[in-house]
Structure 1
Amino acid sequence: MGVGFRHHGMGYRVLVVVALLVAGCGGGAGAGVVGGVFHSTSVTERGAPRALVDGTRVELSFTDDGRVIARAGCNQMQAPVSLGGGKIEAGELSMTMIGCPDPRLHEQDEWLSKFLGASPSWRKDGANLVVADDSTEIVLAPEVPASLEGGKWTADTLISGDTAGSVPGGVVATLEFRDGGVEVSAGCNSGSARYRTDGSAITFEELVLTDKACGPDEMAVEKAVTEALQGRSEFKVDGQRLRLTAASGSGVGLRK
């Protein structure tokens, strides 16, 4: 159940979706939780802080159509969910299987999937969401939606139609939008462009980049980024994430 993803253009293995059976399934809603996106501010296990992999955090989203979407820094997992009785009761949990650059990220994914599969309790503490079982407590703050301009967006996903794959480890591509211009670091070359928005469309003009050769991973990322910056593309800001999709269906996903 669920849609498989694969890496694009870099010889990575095909990604599959695995189904993990976890306790409970059903309807229900949680006031102040459904429709929200929450990011961890602290994680403790047996009363002591649990260190997450550098640059990662736990993200939980509760959709209006009754699903929980979770991330711990690498793969995405989701399931039907009930929040009745102060418990997170997940149904069939599906997880993308991306070849993450650090094996600790896979371990962190497994830790989070087991935690959610154990029907942890939830409660609101002011604006924060607290999710806990007998040994672990995660405190999460509500997400403040990002704006397109201000701050750097870092690419973490390469998109080709209905498939997506992670940016190879060690390759950094960023976009910084400001006053109708965007500074581009495309993974290998860098430069700038002008842009304008019209609803969900964004049109790029005058894209100029340096012209040097890099390795295959860097050039694959650069190809995805620059295709999304050629002419008219669709864009969507969702929380702290930005998706740029060219008319061809190729594109890039970025995070603040």
Structure 2
Amino acid sequence: MRYQLSIPVTAVALLALSACGTESQGGSGNSVAPDVPLTGVRWSVDSVSVDGKKTAAPTDAYVEITDKGRAMGNYGCNHFGADITIKGDTVTVGPGEMTEMACDKKVQGFEDTLRAAFSGKLKAKLTDGRLTLTTEKGDAIAMTAEQPAPLIGTRWTVDSLVSGETATSLPAGTEGKAHLTIAEDGTVGGSLGCNRFSSTAKVSGDSITLGRLASTRKLCPGPEMDLERELVKVLSEGTVKYEVKHRTLTLTASNGKGLAAFADMR
């Protein structure tokens, strides 16, 4: 799923690290260490430590790696992109771009911390599937190699609404309240942000055909009902396109309206 950034960018990607061989320098016998092999992996951000204080990351903060010299990911709420260069175990992150969705105050604080740490020259250390990027001041970003989440059986928590190429944040106060799970028996259920719902789901190729939506009928505060109405528009379309990228799911109706959700591994 592509998102419209506040500053035009190419497809966001994070940390381009290519594998290079050892090179001799002159006849001295010294060598240049190969670049840390991190491409083709989605790294889930675990925490950021600044001045000895560790801050846990939101569930959907991540970094992806490409060999095209670009970095992509999510600071915890907003998506970002940046150019990078790699030499040995040194990662140099250039100025980046990001979306400008409104975020929960606590998440916004983490985003500011991660954005400040993920800049300039960083030392990369990879140990047993865990990546640490350390700044010149000694601050550190801890990440773990992330396994893709299966479409079936995963609890997908809605974190944004989609309209064409644009993603928008959820109504204030509704974060984490809407979710869905497709079961092995072809049923789907969860929460619309206020009311519980159930339906059927038939997966074929890159599409999901949803049956008639049934839900409870509670009355909830305005923002929750606003979110519910938007989700009902998507889930009542019949057939929607789906895409799973690592731990992110997007559902898009024929009119371009949709939702994005992350795999809740609790």
- Bin the TM-score by the shorter chain: 0.7 to 0.9
Q: Superposed, which structure 2 residues align to 1:1-256 within 5 Å?
A: 4=4, 16-17=6-7, 29-30=18-19, 32-46=37-51, 48-52=52-56, 55-56=58-59, 58-102=61-105, 104-133=106-135, 134-171=137-174, 172-178=177-183, 179-230=185-236, 231-256=238-263
Structure 1 residue 84: deviation in Å?
A: 2.4
Task: Number of aligned residue pairs: give it.
Answer: 236
AA matched with 2:239: R
| Unpaired runs of at least 5, structure 1 | 6-15, 20-25
AA matched with 1:105: V
More deviation in 141-150 or 63-72? Answer: 63-72
Q: What's the secondary structure of 2:258's corresponding residue?
A: strand
Taking a change above 3 Å as real, the CA distance of residues 28 and 149 of structure 1, as seen in their structure-2 partners, is: closer
Taking a change above 3 Å as real, the CA distance of residues 94 and 254 of structure 1, as seen in their structure-2 partners, is: same
Q: Supply the distance in 2 between the matched residues of 1:173 and 1:28 (Cα, whole angstroms).
A: 36
Taking a change above 3 Å as real, the CA distance of residues 250 and 18 of structure 1, as seen in their structure-2 partners, is: closer
Q: Supply the distance in 2 between the matched residues of 1:52 and 1:44 (Cα, whole angstroms).
A: 9
Identity of aligned residues (%): 28
User: Could you list the per-position Cα deviations for residues 63-91 of structure 1 after superposition, in whole angstroms to 9, with x for gaps in the alignment?
Assistant: 34332113232212111222223222223
Q: Is the 8 A contact 1:29 1:82 kept in 2?
A: no
Q: Supply the distance in 2 between the matched residues of 1:51 and 1:157 (Cα, whole angstroms).
A: 23
AA matched with 2:253: A
Larger Rg belongs to: 2
Taking a change above 3 Å as real, the CA distance of residues 160 and 201 of structure 1, as seen in their structure-2 partners, is: same
Taking a change above 3 Å as real, the CA distance of residues 63 and 169 of structure 1, as seen in their structure-2 partners, is: farther
Taking a change above 3 Å as real, the CA distance of residues 79 and 37 of structure 1, as seen in their structure-2 partners, is: same
Q: Is the 8 A contact 2:94 2:120 kept in 1?
A: no
Taking a change above 3 Å as real, the CA distance of residues 203 and 64 of structure 1, as seen in their structure-2 partners, is: farther
Q: Give the structure 2 partner of residue 13 of structure 1.
A: none
| Unpaired runs of at least 5, structure 2 | 10-14, 20-35
Q: Which runs of 4+ in 1 moved over 6 A?
A: none
Q: Is the 8 A contact 1:101 1:168 kept in 2?
A: no
Q: Supply the distance in 2 between the matched residues of 1:137 and 1:212 (Cα, whole angstroms).
A: 46
